[in-house]
Structure 1
């Protein structure tokens, strides 16, 4: 009999592996069983891989982290690249197993997972153990469901071969099929979680059809007279077998609905058709067809669309991109050649109208940057072709083509027009996707899954980089906010103690320039309720008191006791704040003069007078020598320069040249204020900077202590900072607008349905 050319070499290779086999040839009946089984297994594997992308996409949608999502995308890419090698490896194992059926076993067989001892099993890694448990469960379910048919097949095989088989060593048994598949998938670099999902797909699409596999194999053997008295139950009937679905797809020139698709898929498209039919002839012109008009087939329509697609110009104005006139021209030429009027079928015409209306919305959407609309407009023909092939395009949110369009629009949300767009990585990647579809997409929608996985991997890398920079921006702003709060608290403390007082100029300058930094550092490190903060305030109070005029004897005693600890606290504080040592020395020199003069104002000698001077010591260091004379000392430098603090002290942030102007207060009920309060972190907005330039940015953080709204671009870099009032003013001027970040295709479809319903009711 004629066998598949692709599998003959495998059989030959298997036979060549055992040239010394005493019985190397298989009976004709077993060759027929092998070939039928290989063909069915090949089709089942194709179903597995065809549905793997959708399954892994759905898992990626439900992923709880970027790492988990990327693992599924990498698995999709890896599975797609190694699909052919897995299919070949699996089928080769099947052929090798059949080739050894008529060979005597020489030597001790290798232990399988069922014969491995508990000691060796303890060495199995957790991942391998999970894999083993999953495989055992799959095998058990097949045995429970199709055990009788498998047992009859093993019995019939034993009747025609020299070896003795049981269900575990049967080359078509679930145990060996699982081992063949795991061995073929050994090159996949996927995590155990993904591998278990692939095993589940293997169970669904390959092991799930074992009843048909065993039924056909048994029937082949029964037809040649091998134990016809064994009666097996008929296989389970399926509403859509793989062959039937493939035949339906070929007959209709399209692709069938995916297994497990929503039952309402066709109903959704039917509703859209009804809406179109109700407005046709009123809001939508009714096409006047000749009585002998002949609708073209879907396959012919696909060829015409491919013709337009291949000849689409590289640069097309958005307003001029309408494929319907081009399609009418091609149909007119076809009609002239055949002598019969050729038109598009009603269903296909509805699809064309729907896709055209979708793209009219998309290309009018203000959320899409103008520079990218021309690129996205070129996707209209590929999207139309996939919609003609697969009506789930309109109803299934996880459809790869639909998701690709949504992902491109989402990535473009923060894109800013540039003079040199060709140097922008996002623009280049979108252009590559568009060009690949125009060049390579004919009628296999799998290309959309491939491009979607690649594009999401690219945007995932960009998103991780931007999120990292965005987090750094938030951290920096939060740190800046803490510093701003510290400045305000230090300003309040200084103004409470200095405002309205007349003090030596050097003391005011010391507190404002030097001690304010000590207070700032203390606030940031320890907080406003800490003992350290209270001690820093007390030092400031003591300094101010020490330079004020005093007359009472107890004040003189207190000053004498206060000066050593005061000077020590000042020196330690300024040192901790890393204040300039030279300026510190100057401050202390002038402060010494002030304290000398303060002591000289007292008319009576100090109790601690020793000779004609009192010496205040600490640790052997002379901090202050005060001559106790009633008259002015000869070295006196005169009265200090005094200043009255009449204006509030304002501390400037680093890099700030002048205090910020106070903003006008707006009513809390103001609509603009309400718009600001409705902003959420992650919202994209567009600022109209001038007549020509627009700035797109995302709200990255709302710093509540300072009331700042921080905006970043799509790379995560800070580009703008506004206050609540400042944003409200922008809303009043209509110079800021929110960008709708909902899925583009979904918004377009909602708009189309809404418009059709309004036209129907008009």
Structure 2
């Protein structure tokens, strides 16, 4: 049966042939395009997943709740596990789409099914959001690279049997998006995470689509496929992964995915220029230009700014005036050239805008004064970025803007210190500034690098502080629960004992020992639990058992109760880990009390044998003593039971000792509920930063870490997560009322500065 191996099932052979033969029939030119495109897609997908981890980690770091943070962490884990499968699935789908171009469709008549209203369903919200995101991505690519894609589709139509249109082109954005979404079907992530991943796909895969189409067209032209098509884009030099490394000035304007370009960015700068033009000579300074003045180029301006940057004073911000320093340099240049040189109008507007932005930043009260000098050193580097790239004013995600915002956000909780050089945050910000001043010439990629490094630094600090904050919140909430439980135990003890005269041993047992059992049950089970009610019942029975009773039936009730009572007392004290030696002392004295009670009953009536013959099983030693009562009780003077016979009147409220340190008493002033200061306190949210003047000459910056609702206490921590302050709601309102508290604005610094500048320009326009 040597030939058995040559027998192949027809269905298997057909399947293999349908898959492989079609690939074999692809033209050589198309195979070359497929292989080149697939290789570049593979690198782009690797860049996507390499950056997805950092992006999701950053989103988790910025989350406002534990649930949201866990969502991003779970997504990171899921993406890591399924990364290889998604990459393989995407590339396989791409290859299958290419292979299908040379396959005939078996014609089938369209089957029209009856439509009823019952079969119509609404598109799921998640699917709708995916669809909208995909349409947006496709529209961006088509608006940017429509010509190159149209030429590619035209050339493919000369090579394959199927009709290729832009929307059915396997290399087109729609087919690529659909292939990626199909590969991601197994991801168990929420829609907001999937939209982030789609955004990364747009950035790292579709961002270079125009370059890929240009190269694919060049491959086909090299194989003689419609070389006469005019207007075929010439591929630009390779800049793969530029989103992480940065690009040159020209490419920033031309390639949105690789730089900082954004739709409508130039229009935004034009609006700012219009505002400046209408207020020149009033709010915005204007350089006087001689009639024969020759504007310098932006490149010359960059060189002058680099000179100022390298010679920036380090002592004080007052020594830095960019406008004045530029005028001095231009005067030197004019003297040497013999012709007046000035800054061009566009660059002049940029200088004025950046100058106004930093005037706001350096006057901002939310920034600590000692860090303003460091942040002020960013003025020239930021000015150079704005000269290079006008989208700086409109693109919120610009790395230079994000770096400034991140530094300002981290500095929000920085307090004034005597030895700033030992503070890690101060050193890190200083390090960032020195890198900018020493290394930044004309490549904005350094901002992305410094931003990533600074986010890693602040992320590590934030995680440490959040861990401490959570511990403080847990401790404060636990302390409050213990305080409320202690107050409840005090209440039930005073309710049952205050005003009564009881044996001293019972008072001590309840106050020193049984209170711990009550406290434990209250904390573990609550006051509505069976355990709490059982502990109260035991306490009530103990008090009843040592009180005088004259009724004949009380003797039998006591005889039945005592063994069960002693058992409950032992079990309760044992569960609360009460000192066993003190437990033994208490029980020895209780024995004397109960024997004394039965002695008193014996003096009233004779004990009938049938009444004492059936006690409930319990503490047998006490029962035996009770049954042998034929003579008056005689207690030796040195016996511990002798002290137990003493009675004490409970005339003062019982106050249980607290293991916590006593809280400092705050002078309480009562304000009406509609008082503005109280409304300010009620508007505070956990995470708000405040500056509080705790002494006439000292201020502390702190964050609201927790609001303990039952007690109305506000817990504040510093930047490192350590507790620094605790205030009641009313005391904090009093501080607001006397202007000792100032709420710090934690909104993005650059955005606030830009809004302020635009508002000022509009006001000047109407004056």
Query: Which category of TM-score, normalised to the shorter sequence, fits these structures?
Result: 0.7 to 0.9
Q: Are 1:136 and 2:138 an aligned pair? A: no
**Distance verdict in 2 for CA 1:208–1:59, change over 3 Å:** farther
SS in 1 for 2:703: strand
Instruction: Name 2:309's counterpart in structure 1.
Output: 309
Query: Normalising by the residue count of structure 1, what TM-score does the alignment of the two structures yield?
Result: 0.73
Instruction: Name 1:723's counterpart in structure 2.
Output: 728
Name whichever of 390-399 and 748-757 sits farther off: 748-757
Give 5+ residue unaligned stretches, structure 2.
Answer: 1-27, 103-148, 161-169, 177-188, 240-245
CA contact (8 A) 1:708 1:722 kept: yes
Q: Are 1:326 and 2:331 an aligned pair? A: no
Distance in structure 2 (CA, Å) of the matches to 1:564 and 1:490: 25
Q: Compute the displacement of 1:149 (Å).
A: 2.5
Name whichever of 60-69 and 633-642 sits farther off: 60-69
Q: Are 1:679 and 2:684 an aligned pair? A: yes
Q: Compute the displacement of 1:274 (Å).
A: 2.0
Q: Over residues 153-196 of structure 1, what are the superposed CA-to-partner deviations in whole Å (9 max), with x where a residue is unaligned?
A: 99xxxxxxxxxxxxxxxxxx979xx9xxxxxxxxxxxx999999
Distance in structure 1 (CA, Å) of the matches to 2:733 and 2:661: 24
Distance in structure 2 (CA, Å) of the matches to 1:572 and 1:304: 86
CA contact (8 A) 1:148 1:232 kept: no
Q: Compute the displacement of 1:624 (Å).
A: 7.2
Any residues of structure 2 matched to 1:44-443 within 5 Å, and which?
A: 126-133=85-92, 135-136=94-95, 139=98, 146=152, 149=155, 203-204=205-206, 208-209=210-211, 211-213=213-215, 215-217=217-219, 231=226, 234=229, 255-256=252-253, 258-259=255-256, 261-313=261-313, 315-443=314-442
**Distance verdict in 2 for CA 1:484–1:130, change over 3 Å:** farther
Instruction: Name 2:648's counterpart in structure 1.
Output: 643
Instruction: Name 1:572's counterpart in structure 2.
Output: 571
Instruction: Name 1:655's counterpart in structure 2.
Output: 660
Q: Over residues 682-731 of structure 1, what are the superposed CA-to-partner deviations in whole Å (9 max), with x where a residue is unaligned?
A: 11122222234322222222222332322222233333322222222222
Q: Over residues 323-360 of structure 1, what are the superposed CA-to-partner deviations in whole Å (9 max), with x where a residue is unaligned?
A: 22211111111111112121111111111111111111
**Distance verdict in 2 for CA 1:141–1:388, change over 3 Å:** farther
Query: Normalising by the residue count of structure 2, what TM-score does the alignment of the two structures yield?
Result: 0.72
CA contact (8 A) 1:48 1:206 kept: no
Instruction: Name 1:746's counterpart in structure 2.
Output: 751
Distance in structure 2 (CA, Å) of the matches to 1:494 and 1:382: 71
CA contact (8 A) 2:667 2:731 kept: no
Q: Over residues 257-294 of structure 1, what are the superposed CA-to-partner deviations in whole Å (9 max), with x where a residue is unaligned?
A: 65274432122212222222222222344433221122
CA contact (8 A) 1:272 1:753 kept: yes
Q: Compute the displacement of 1:733 (Å).
A: 2.8
SS in 2 for 1:625: helix
Q: Over residues 37-75 of structure 1, what are the superposed CA-to-partner deviations in whole Å (9 max), with x where a residue is unaligned?
A: 99x99999999999999999988777776689799999x
Q: Over residues 280-310 of structure 1, what are the superposed CA-to-partner deviations in whole Å (9 max), with x where a residue is unaligned?
A: 2223444332211221111111000000101
Q: Compute the displacement of 1:571 (Å).
A: 1.5
Q: Are 1:448 and 2:454 an aligned pair? A: no
Give 5+ residue unaligned stretches, structure 1.
Answer: 1-29, 75-122, 155-172, 179-190, 223-229
Q: Compute the displacement of 1:491 (Å).
A: 1.6
Q: Compute the displacement of 1:319 (Å).
A: 3.9
Instruction: Name 1:509's counterpart in structure 2.
Output: 508
Distance in structure 2 (CA, Å) of the matches to 1:131 and 1:345: 50
Name whichever of 553-562 and 143-152 sits farther off: 143-152
CA contact (8 A) 2:692 2:699 kept: yes
Q: Compute the displacement of 1:408 (Å).
A: 0.8
Q: Would you tell me which structure has more helix in proportion to its own residues? A: 2
CA contact (8 A) 1:686 1:694 kept: yes
**Distance verdict in 2 for CA 1:751–1:70, change over 3 Å:** farther
Q: Are 1:689 and 2:688 an aligned pair? A: no
Distance in structure 1 (CA, Å) of the matches to 2:448 and 2:635: 95
Instruction: Name 1:116's counterpart in structure 2.
Output: none
SS in 2 for 1:480: helix
RMSD: 4.6
Distance in structure 2 (CA, Å) of the matches to 1:728 and 1:342: 59
**Distance verdict in 2 for CA 1:586–1:274, change over 3 Å:** same
SS in 1 for 2:566: helix
SS in 2 for 1:601: helix
SS in 2 for 1:289: coil
Distance in structure 2 (CA, Å) of the matches to 1:542 and 1:439: 83
Q: Compute the displacement of 1:362 (Å).
A: 1.0
